[in-house]
Amino acid sequence: MKTIAVLTSGGDAPGMNAAIRAVVRAGIAMGMNVKGVRRGYAGLIEGDIIDLDARSVSDIIHRGGTMLYTARCPEFKHEEGLQKAIATCKEQGIEGIVVIGGDGSFRGARDLSLRGVPCVGVPGTIDNDISSTEYTIGYDTAMNTAMEMMDKLRDTSQSHERCSVVEVMGRRAGYLALQTGIACGATSILVPEVEFDLDKDVIKKIREIRSTGKKHFVVVVAEGVGGVEEIADRIEEATGIESRATILGHVQRGGNPTVRDRVMASQLGYHAVELLSNGIGNRVVTVQNSKIGDMDIYEALAMVKVFDMDEYNMATAISI
């Protein structure tokens, strides 16, 4: 391949810039031209494309967000949108694309690959909800951001002897909630993957722990469970403990990427370009058993991620 492109799609994640930088510089090192598509698949449809050189990606490795912007583009899910995107690739001489995003973006990459534009997916989402990989760019930074904010909530919750009910992002997945809940010593962690009974699993537990002298509590609720206001009200009604609900929200998506995210993004981006430079597309880059590899997109999309119940049960056991 002589010319490849890179785009970011779906929710942004800290470390996407480091991945763009790695793709651009790896492409140049392997003798290719690299173009940047702005606003994900929307930019591919509209032809919003820029030339990138080694200096275009200077000074971004440490920044959150994505210099290429990102978007959700419903039009791309339809044949007409896809054909417009393919026409742009022909006009611009784009022979392969690195797609940085989540499962949805990988579906788009599969559809493009199927129509003759080889794509390689690089996992990027704070949710870490992609079945084919143990790790997604942005997850570590988001976990650390959520943890820092929960530590701050803990200070005020402790001072007022309150219960903090905190919603953590994750779309339909509870990985971010589980990890940050463990890191912050949450009394209960509610995730969509595990059924729970608010009275038995949360309220009764708070009462029991209170009787041992504990005075303040943190309940972490994954976005996929939701209802933090109602949960806080029910805890307050049933226990008499003043409770406050907090939705951490989009702040979890921003900030300077951690070491882990910068290094992973660099490795994953580099591997994606290696594949394209060898004429290989329709793949996603993966991390399995802590090793970087790749896999067919169809195979990757058919996989099911298993929630770690041992870890969840451990968290429940030590939160007393």
* Active-site residue set: 127
The answer for residues whose C-beta is within 8 angstroms of residue 98's C-beta and 6 or more apart is: 4, 5, 6, 7, 23, 119, 120, 122, 269, 272, 273, 276
Q: Which helix (H) or strand (E) holds 5?
A: strand 3-8
Q: According to CB under 6 A, which one of 1, 8, 9, 11 is a site residue for ligand F6P?
A: 11
Burial zone of 47 (CB within 10 Å; 0-12 exposed, 13-18 middle, 19+ buried): middle
Q: Tell which positions 208-267 bind ligand F6P, by CB under 6 A.
A: 223, 253
Which ranges of 161-222 does DSSP label H, i.e. alpha helix?
Answer: 175-183, 204-210
Instruction: Give the binding site for ligand ADP (CB under 6 A).
Output: 9-11, 41, 72-73, 76-77, 101-105, 107-108, 111, 125
Beta-carbon contacts of 312 under 8 Å, excluding residues fewer than 6 positions away, are 178, 189, 191, 193, 194
- What is the nearest approach in angstroms of ligand ADP to the Cβ of residue 300? 13
The option from ligand ADP, ligand F6P, none interacting with 70 (CB < 5 to 8 A, set by class) reads none
* Contact (CB, 8 A) for 17 and 65: yes
Near ligand F6P in 151-210, by CB under 6 A: 169-171
Shortest CB 251 distance to ligand F6P, Å? 11
What is d(CA 312, CA 318) in angstroms, rounded to the nearest whole number?
A: 10
Minimum distance from CB of 113 to ligand ADP (Å)? 11
Backbone angles phi, psi at 237, to 5 degrees: -60, -45
Which of 95/129 has CB closer to ligand F6P?
129
Nearer to ligand ADP, 146 or 182 (CB): 146
Using CB under 6 A as the binding criterion, the count of chain residues that bind ligand F6P stands at 10
Is residue 110 close enough to count as binding ligand F6P by CB under 6 A?
A: no
* Nearest position to ligand F6P, beta carbon: 11
Q: Are strands 188-190 and 96-101 parallel, antiparallel or unpaired?
A: unpaired
Minimum CB distance to ligand F6P smaller for 14 or for 43: 14
Q: Is 126 an interacting residue with respect to ligand F6P (CB under 6 A)? A: yes
Residues 6+ apart with CB under 8 A from 156: 162, 164
Q: Least CB distance from residue 169 to ligand F6P, whole Å?
A: 4
Stretch binding ligand F6P (CB under 6 A), from 115-123, 125-133, 180-188, 284-292: 125-133
CA nearest to 52, candidates 72, 73, 32: 32
Least spacing, CB of residue 102 vs ligand ADP, in Å: 3
101 binds, among ligand F6P, ligand ADP, none (CB under 5 to 8 A by kind): ligand ADP
Question: To 5 degrees, how large is the angle CA 247–CA 251–CA 255?
Answer: 155
Binding site for ligand F6P (CB under 6 A): 11, 102, 125-127, 169-171, 223, 253
